């Protein structure tokens, strides 16, 4: 059905797509595996764009930011929509660099399926493992695309073996390459038992032929293995296989889809996106094997008032429920909220409640997103991913629904920043402009933190790495036309406690008229792994009215920003409100906020606090002859080697090292290996600082 929607600029048609025909997918991979190049081909061959852009030339649709064009990497996850075989495909192209892992995390939170792209030469690389495990946490079905088969050193079998060994994913190879490296000329489709050749540089000129004679034996063996693997997961295929009955292609596809959605099997496809080989087959695979919102089923949340578990089905008839996963400050539309609609239907002008923050909101405009191009539409329904204009108090991770159907979906968890840098405005007159611009950037990126040092008055920003911070500061200059200088990078230390303790805080003040009265008794203990802060109550009776509980929690969160022991942010705290008292006239939010802060400080000093530092996972790829120098240097830095693997003429060293020890590593490794080695470093965990290092920190 087509609906004409009036717009001040122009009228346009909005097609209502069956929810079963929607695919919300992400493209995840290590940096330089070919995510953006593959997305560009998908958009071109699906008819979304009429010209193929190039990453090196900075002309791709998805890498639209100036910095992405200049650096040749994806920095911000970009969304777009295309159509293939009467299916609507919403695609999010995610960054591959470890510094921008939050972009991957929030994208995966709202996706139904994903394509894991692996380089046929590089195989499973560190960030490949990271993003794969992120997707597994959300239970996302995936298909695998092995790219760059035209490059020297390409080996599909080695990559499949690595995926199974390192990621624990049971691969189901559905395609075999015809030739390899410079001789890569086509693909064998094992389900249809046919060959697809690419005689020109356009996939539109692909030719379907019989399987080459020299490959028939290998293809038959691979097809038998494919059917055996599917038969293990599907009774119908097993019965046909045992009785040597013919298995039709469509029957096999349905069984593969079922196993893929259950994450029992991960179909493997191959190609070379840059050379326009395999993309249209990949589009078919998205439709055939990745889930629709209906396949993913209902989503669960809780009633903010009763805490009862609720569900929402991906149906238009259900109450409205949407999840905000990204905030963007757009130069034309202002503050945009990227959201996934999980149920119901929204229209411009609709009033919603942000139940996460207990705020009323109104949707002014709904926009369909194509990277940095936005088109106004008349509605968004269950399964859609859109940008919304008009939501003033909504942030990443918030849930919105109608006033009569409250629900809060599970929030997202982001890693703690590991690096601090001082920011100074270039002129004194720009101080306020710089701070406001940084504040907007911190609203957009949950892993970019902003604070003012209470002792020196300096502005400190925290991020996932030096590149992360530098990119955002450069963005501030271009987007908000205000420049700033960055200081030297510093380790983002954290504090925590090692045992349970109880503390009390009282704030009682008389001012002549109405006074202040807040009294809080708190018990704190180390939180379970993965929990940064949790607040619960075990009050008996009405010792503290429920209306003051949010103020107490807010006071605790603010108090944790500056640790009482070392002055660093506090993490991993499980706080329980056990007692307190109130005054019927003098009690207010401010009094309980301050009392909570005092109670935390009291308990904290009794709970044996310790200082934590970020430990990084490091992977170094080096020619064999430099192994001795690299191991010796890592030992001097206090690093620990976990494993060493032979990879052809190279050696891969994996281990762990403290962030404070590797600020100069880019220069050092170039010097040690004459520029022939490369390395990847990513945050791993926070660990207790040694007594020796603690003394050095206190002396600074």
What gap in Å lies between CA 502 and CA 524, rounded to an integer? 6
For residue 56 the two structure tokens come to: 């090196």
- Please give the pLDDT value at position 10: 34
Domains 419-492 and 496-607 share a fold: no
| CA separation, residue 602 to residues 501, 503, 539 (Å) | 9, 5, 19
Find out whether 34 is annotated in a ligand binding site.
yes
What mean pLDDT, rounded, does the chain reach?
A: 86
Residue 249 marked as a ligand binder = no
Would you say the C-alpha torsion 680, 686, 688, 691 has a positive or negative sign? positive
The pLDDT value given to residue 159? 94
Q: Which two tokens stand for residue 308?
A: 């009862």
Q: What is the largest CA-CA distance in the chain?
A: 98
At 470 the pLDDT is 84
Which of the two residues, 13 and 77, has the higher pLDDT score?
77
Distance CA 655, CA 674 (A): 22
Bridge partners, residue 367, by sequence: 376, 387
The three-state DSSP-derived secondary structure of 27-68 is EEECCCCCHHHHHHHHHHHCCCCCCCCCCCCCCCCCCCCHHH
Residue 60, pLDDT score = 55
Contacts of 93 by beta carbon, 8 Å cutoff, 6+ apart: 26, 27, 35, 36, 39, 62, 74, 77, 78, 80
- Helix axis angle for 126-137 and 156-167, nearest 10°, is 50
Is 122 labeled as ligand-binding?
no
**Among 336, 319, 349, residue whose Cα is nearest residue 385:** 336
| Cα 564 to Cα 569: distance, rounded to the nearest angstrom | 9
Q: Is 579 annotated as a binding residue?
A: no
Question: Annotation-wise, does 93 bind a ligand?
Answer: yes
Q: Of 3.40.50.360, 3.40.50.300, 2.40.160.20, 3.90.1150.10, which CATH number belongs to 17-295?
A: 3.40.50.300
Mean local confidence (pLDDT), 160-164: 94
Residue 585 has pLDDT above 60, yes or no: yes
Residues 105, 99: contact at Cβ < 8 Å? Answer: no
The count of residues in the chain is 700
Nearest alpha-carbon partner for 548 in 511, 513, 586, 574: 586
Q: Using 50, 70 and 90 to split pLDDT, how confident is the model at 77?
A: low
Q: Which of 269-278, 357-366, 578-587, 690-699 has the lowest mean pLDDT?
A: 690-699
Domain boundaries, the chain: 17-295, 299-409, 419-492, 496-607, 611-699
Q: Provide the b/e sequence for 533-566 (b: ≥16 CB within 10 Å).
A: eebeeeeeeeebeeebbebbbbbbbebbebbbbb
The answer, yes or no, to whether residue 304 has pLDDT greater than 70, is yes
- Residue 694 or 56, more confident: 694
Share of the chain above pLDDT 70, in %: 91
Fold of 496-607: Ribosomal Protein S5; domain 2 (3.30.230)
C-alpha distances (whole Å) from 237 to each of 37, 173, 191, 269, 290 are 36, 17, 13, 21, 20
539 annotated as ligand-binding: no
> Would the CA dihedral through 482, 386, 405, 397 be positive or negative?
negative
What does the DSSP assignment read for 397-445? T-EEE-TTS--EEPPP--PPP-EEEEEEESSGGGHHHHHHHHHHHHHH-
The C-alpha atoms of residue 346 and residue 179 are separated, in whole angstroms, by 51
Q: Is 33 a known ligand-binding residue?
A: yes
* Beta strands 490-491 and 419-425, pairing class: antiparallel
Task: Please give the residue that has the higher pLDDT: either 610 or 455.
Answer: 610
pLDDT at position 600: 95
Residue 498's nearest CA partner among 688, 658, 683 is 688
Q: Which fold has domain 299-409?
A: Elongation Factor Tu (Ef-tu); domain 3 (2.40.30)
- Consult the annotation and say whether 54 binds a ligand: no
Is 468 annotated as belonging to a binding site? Answer: no
Name the fold adopted by 611-699.
Alpha-Beta Plaits (3.30.70)
Give the pLDDT score at 42: 92
pTM: 0.74
460 vs 90: CA distance, rounded Å: 37
The continuous run of DSSP H or E covering 225 comes out as: helix 216-231
Residue 243, marked binder: no
DSSP symbols for 293-342: HHHH--EEEE-TTT--EEEE-S-TTSPPEEEEEEEEEETTTEEEEEEEEE
CB atoms within 10 A of CB 648: 10
| DSSP E strand boundaries for 436-568 | 449-452, 459-463, 484-486, 490-491, 494-496, 501-509, 516-526, 533-537
Residue 149 known to bind ligand: yes
Q: Is 583 annotated as a binding residue?
A: no
The model's confidence at residue 685, banded by pLDDT at 50, 70 and 90, is confident
Q: What is the pLDDT of residue 15?
A: 39
Judge contact between 487 and 423, C-beta under 8 A.
Answer: yes
Q: What secondary structure does DSSP assign to 159-187, as a single string?
A: HHHHHHHHH---EEE-EEEES-GGG--EE
Pair type for strands 385-389 and 334-343 = antiparallel
Q: How do residues 449-469 score in pLDDT, each as one tens digit? A: 888 877 677 888 888 878 788
Q: Is the pLDDT of residue 2 over 70?
A: no
Known binder of ligand: residue 26? no
| Span 501-542, pLDDT tens digits | 999 999 998 776 678 999 999 999 999 877 889 999 998 888
pLDDT band at 11 (very low <50, low <70, confident <90, very high): very low
Lowest average pLDDT, out of 63-67, 393-397, 679-683, goes to 63-67
pLDDT digits (tens, 9 = 90+) for 220-266: 999 999 999 999 999 999 999 888 888 899 999 999 999 999 999 99
Contact of 300 with 326, CB cutoff 8 Å: no
pLDDT of residue 7: 37
Q: From the CB of residue 455, how many other CB atoms can be counted at a distance below 10 Å?
A: 8
What kind of architecture, by CATH, is found in domain 419-492?
A: 2-Layer Sandwich (3.30)
* Residue 132 structure tokens: 């794969």
Q: In the chain, what percentage of residues exceed pLDDT 90? A: 51
Tokens of 421: 């840098």
Q: How far is CA 694 from CA 609, 616, 660, 688, in A?
A: 13, 19, 12, 10
Q: Is the pLDDT of residue 130 over 80?
A: no
pLDDT digits (tens, 9 = 90+) for 309-335: 999 999 999 999 999 988 888 778 888
């Amino acid at each position: 059905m087509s609906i004409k929607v009036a717009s001040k600029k122009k009228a346009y048609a909005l097609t209502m797509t069956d929810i079963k025909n929607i695919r919300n997918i992400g493209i995840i991979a290590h940096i330089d595996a070919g995510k953006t190049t593959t997305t560009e081909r998908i958009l071109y061959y699906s008819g979304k764009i009429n010209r193929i852009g190039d990453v090196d030339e900075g002309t791709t649709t998805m890498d639209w930011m100036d910095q992405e064009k200049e650096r040749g990497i994806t920095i911000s996850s970009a969304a777009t929509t295309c159509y293939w075989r009467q299916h609507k495909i919403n695609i999010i192209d995610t960054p591959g660099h470890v510094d921008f892992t939050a972009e991957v995390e929030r994208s995966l939170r709202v996706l139904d399926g994903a394509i894991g792209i692996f380089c046929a030469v590089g195989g499973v690389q560190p960030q490949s493992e990271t993003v794969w495990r992120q997707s597994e946490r959300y239970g996302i079905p995936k298909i695998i695309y092995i790219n760059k088969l035209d490059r020297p050193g390409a080996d599909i079998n080695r990559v499949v073996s690595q995926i199974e060994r390192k990621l624990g994913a049971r691969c189901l190879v559905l395609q075999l390459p015809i030739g390899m490296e410079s001789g890569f000329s086509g693909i064998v489709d094992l389900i249809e038992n046919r060959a697809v050749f690419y005689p020109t540089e356009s996939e539109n000129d692909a030719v379907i032929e019989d399987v080459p004679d020299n490959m028939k034996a290998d293809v038959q063996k691979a097809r038998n293995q494919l059917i055996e693997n599917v038969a293990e997961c599907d009774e119908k295929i097993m019965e046909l296989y045992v009785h040597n009955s013919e298995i039709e292609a469509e029957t096999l596809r349905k069984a593969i889809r079922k196993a893929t959605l259950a994450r029992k099997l991960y179909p493997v496809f191959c190609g070379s996106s840059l050379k326009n080989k395999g993309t249209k087959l990949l589009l078919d695979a998205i439709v055939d094997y990745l889930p629709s919102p209906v396949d993913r089923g209902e989503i669960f949340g809780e009633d903010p008032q009763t805490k009862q578990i609720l569900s929402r089905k991906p149906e238009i008839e259900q109450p409205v429920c949407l999840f905000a996963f990204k905030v963007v400050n757009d130069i034309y539309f202002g503050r945009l909220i990227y959201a996934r609609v999980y149920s119901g239907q929204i229209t411009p002008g609709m009033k919603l409640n942000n139940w996460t923050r207990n705020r009323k909101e109104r949707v002014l405009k709904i926009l369909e997103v194509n990277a940095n191009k936005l088109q106004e539409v008349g509605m968004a329904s269950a399964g859609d991913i859109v940008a919304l204009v008009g939501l003033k108090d909504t942030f990443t991770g918030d849930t919105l629904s109608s006033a009569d159907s409250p629900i809060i979906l599970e929030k997202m968890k982001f890693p703690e920043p590991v690096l601090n840098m001082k920011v100074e405005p270039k002129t004194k007159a720009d101080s306020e402009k710089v701070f406001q611009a940084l504040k907007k950037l911190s609203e957009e990126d949950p892993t970019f933190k902003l604070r003012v040092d209470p002792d020196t008055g300096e502005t400190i920003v925290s991020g996932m790495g030096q590149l992360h911070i530098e990119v955002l500061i450069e963005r501030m200059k271009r987007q908000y036309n205000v420049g700033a200088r960055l200081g030297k990078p510093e380790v983002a230390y954290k504090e925590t406690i090692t045992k349970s303790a109880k503390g009390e805080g009282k704030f009682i003040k008389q001012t002549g008229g109405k006074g202040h009265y807040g009294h809080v008794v708190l018990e704190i203990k180390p939180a379970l792994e993965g929990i940064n802060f949790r607040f619960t109550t075990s009050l008996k009776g009405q010792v503290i009215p429920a209306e003051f509980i949010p103020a107490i929690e807010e006071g605790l969160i603010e108090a944790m920003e500056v640790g009482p022991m070392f002055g660093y942010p506090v993490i991993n705290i499980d706080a329980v409100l056990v007692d307190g008292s109130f005054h019927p006239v003098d009690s207010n939010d401010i009094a309980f906020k301050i009392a909570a802060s005092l109670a935390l400080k009291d308990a904290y000093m009794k709970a044996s606090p310790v200082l934590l530092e970020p430990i990084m996972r490091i992977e170094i790829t080096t020619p064999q002859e430099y192994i001795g120098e690299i191991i010796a240097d890592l030992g001097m830095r206090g690093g620990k080697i976990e494993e060493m693997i032979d990879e052809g003429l190279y050696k891969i060293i994996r281990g762990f090292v403290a962030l404070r020890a590797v600020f100069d590593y880019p220069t050092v490794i170039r010097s040690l290996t004459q520029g022939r080695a490369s390395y990847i470093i990513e945050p791993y965990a926070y660990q207790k600082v040694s007594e020796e290092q603690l003394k050095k920190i206190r002396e600074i």
